């Protein structure tokens, strides 16, 4: 036995309750052994060590098999676990286990697809294992959930020929185009290539990133790296919130106006109950600037107390709103889990009397919006995980947690208004046609 894992098992055996059977005790000790080997970067010996404890792959508990798949996928050595997992999945004794589906999903998404084994992946899904682990409805709906949420973006990327792209591995929009095309055609998605491309752009996969920052970074890469400026601007136009920055002198009432734009609406959350309407109105309220914050007035020729803020000039096709739940203070960064109620639809026309529009507002389409996706943050400011709710027309709401997609309800979505740890972080509304 590996001495590191052996010591972990020996030191933990004393703490096991006597009510557990030997099989459960052994499984718990093996989990500790795998964790010890992984933490000490001894991953090459993990599978062989586990097999010494259980003799054959099909006898390995599902929990340990999942750990092994995730470990070898993380270090980029999926081939090391491929044959053992295949043997486990095709053994009749494992079919009835509750975690059979999870192991099958991990094998598909973390082993076969990253290795480019598309034929094996297709056979897995359509064959004996797929019929046991996934229903036809689950496979079809998972694809629809992924595709529908971004169909406008994909339709533009499809028109881009990308003929002059040189370094394909560093081109974010090209990798995004290929990823989305594979999803839309029902083919295994080359998600790893897109993620590796982002990692080369300093978005490390083993570090938690802010969802809104990643969203804005991808849009920025599209502007920088697409060799068709017209299409790049068309993509930006999907999300572009045109605003007017106003600066009003409180002494002479002179007002300066400058057009600008946002790609997502950052909404401040206060402690206590919030509503989406209150947060939107608060964002467009002019803020007082006085004292050291006073601004120079060209008419008065001195710094004067002023009011400054944004007013709406035009609305986008897709309205993305970021709920600013993270706060920086002297003691660090904290997450606000307080409630923020948001509707499944609303009309910006209802804000007309609340002074959020510029006098030059252009009504270039409907002002009515419907919610179609909610990005959820689970965890704290220091450690967390993102999941999503997506609305599929004629099918309803679905909840996507990595590769796991299940049906959901509007009540499930509303449960993310607030509460400890699990809260809505980004809201995506689509303008009604």
The pLDDT tens digits of the residues spanning 375-430 come to 998 887 666 788 899 998 777 898 888 767 788 999 999 999 987 768 999 999 99
pLDDT of residue 27: 86
Q: Which domains does the chain have, with CATH numbers?
A: 3-133 (1.25.40), 144-235 (no CATH), 240-431 (3.90.70.10)
Task: Tell me: pLDDT of 20 over 70.
Answer: no
| pLDDT reported for residue 323 | 92
- Residue 186's pLDDT is what? 55
pLDDT at 303: 92
Per residue in 86-106, pLDDT (tens digit) is: 999 998 888 888 788 888 888
- Strands 384-392, 265-268: pairing is unpaired
Q: 3-state secondary structure string, the chain?
A: CCHHHHHHHHHHHCCCCCCCCHHHHHHHHHHHHHHHHHHCCCHHHHHHHHHHHHCCHHHCCHHHHHHHHHHHHHCCCCHHHHHHHHHHHCCHHHCCCCCHHHHHHHHHHHHHCCCCCHHHHHHHHHCHHHHHHCCHHHHHHHHHHHHHCCHHHHHHHCCCCCCCCCCHHHCHHHHHHHHHHHHHCCCCCCHHHHHHHHHHCCCCCCCCCCHHHHHHHHHHHHHHHCCCHHHHHHHHHHHCEEEEEEEEECCCCCEEEEEEEECCEEEECCCCCEEHHHHHHHHCCCEEECHHHCEEECCCCEEECEEEEEEEEECCCEEEEEEECEEEECCEEEECCCCEECCCEEEHHHHHHHCCECCCCCCCCCCEEEEEEEEEEEECCCCEEEEEEEEECCCEEEEEECCEEEECCHHHHHCCCCCCCEEEEEEEEEECC
Per-residue pLDDT of 324-353, as tens digits, reads: 888 776 677 777 888 999 999 999 999 888
Instruction: Supply the pLDDT for residue 88.
Output: 92
In the predicted structure, residue 137 carries a pLDDT above the cut 60:
no
Asked if residue 74 has pLDDT above 90, the reply is no
**Of the candidate ranges 26-30, 110-114, 186-190, 363-367, the one whose mean pLDDT is the lowest:** 186-190
Distance of alpha carbon 254 from alpha carbon 75, whole angstroms:
61
pLDDT of residue 11 exceeding 60, the answer is no
Q: Would you say residue 243 has pLDDT above 70?
A: yes
What pLDDT was estimated at residue 284?
92
104-108's contacts with Cβ under 8 Å and 24+ in sequence apart are 104/129, 104/130, 104/132, 104/133, 104/134, 105/133, 105/403, 105/404, 106/66, 106/69, 106/70, 106/73, 106/403, 107/69, 108/403
Is the pTM higher than 0.85? The answer reads: no
pLDDT range class, residue 136, cuts 50, 70, 90: low
pLDDT at 19 over 50: no
Give the model's pLDDT for residue 240.
Answer: 94
d(CA 400, CA 377): 12
């Amino acid at each position: 036995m590996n001495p590191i894992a052996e010591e972990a098992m020996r030191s933990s055996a004393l703490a096991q309750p006597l009510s557990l059977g030997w099989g459960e005790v052994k499984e718990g000790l093996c989990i500790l052994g795998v964790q010890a080997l992984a933490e000490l970067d001894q991953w090459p010996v993990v599978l062989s060590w586990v097999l010494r404890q259980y003799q054959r792959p099909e006898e390995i508990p599902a929990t340990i098999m999942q750990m092994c798949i995730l470990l070898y996928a993380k270090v980029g050595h999926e081939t090391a676990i491929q044959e053992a997992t295949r043997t486990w999945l095709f053994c009749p004794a494992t079919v009835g286990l509750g975690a059979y589906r999870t192991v099958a999903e991990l094998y598909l998404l973390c082993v076969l697809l990253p290795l480019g084994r598309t034929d094996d992946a297709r056979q897995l899904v359509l064959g004996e294992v797929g019929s046991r682990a996934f229903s036809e409805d689950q496979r079809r709906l998972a694809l629809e959930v992924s595709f529908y949420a971004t169909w406008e973006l994909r339709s533009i990327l499809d028109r881009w020929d990308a003929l002059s792209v040189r370094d394909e591995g560093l081109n974010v929009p090209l990798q995004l185009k290929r990823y989305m095309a594979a999803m839309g055609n029902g083919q295994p998605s080359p998600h790893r290539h897109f993620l590796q491309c982002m990692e080369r752009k300093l978005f490390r996969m083993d570090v938690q990133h802010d969802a809104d920052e990643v969203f804005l970074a991808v849009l920025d890469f599209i502007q920088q790296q697409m060799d068709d400026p017209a299409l790049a601007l068309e993509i930006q136009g999907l999300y572009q919130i045109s605003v007017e920055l106003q600066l009003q002198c409180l002494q002479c009432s002179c007002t300066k106006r400058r057009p600008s734009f946002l790609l997502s609406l950052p909404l401040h959350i206060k402690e206590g109950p919030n509503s989406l309407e209150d947060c939107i109105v608060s964002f467009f309220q002019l803020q007082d600037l006085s004292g050291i914050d006073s601004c120079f007035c060209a008419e008065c020729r001195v710094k004067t107390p002023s009011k400054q803020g944004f007013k709406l000039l035009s609305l986008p096709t897709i309205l993305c709103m970021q709920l600013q739940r993270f706060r920086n203070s002297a003691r660090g960064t904290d997450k606000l889990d307080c409630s923020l109620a948001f509707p499944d639809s609303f009309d910006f026309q209802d804000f007309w009397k609340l002074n959020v529009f510029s006098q030059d507002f252009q009504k270039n389409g409907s002002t009515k919006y419907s919610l179609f996706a909610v990005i959820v943050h689970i965890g704290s400011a220091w450690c967390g995980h993102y999941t999503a709710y997506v609305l599929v027309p004629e099918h309803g709401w679905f909840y996507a947690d990595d590769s796991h997609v299940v049906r959901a309800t509007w009540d499930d979505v509303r449960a993310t208004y607030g509460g400890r740890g699990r809260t809505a972080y980004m809201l995506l509304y689509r303008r009604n046609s």
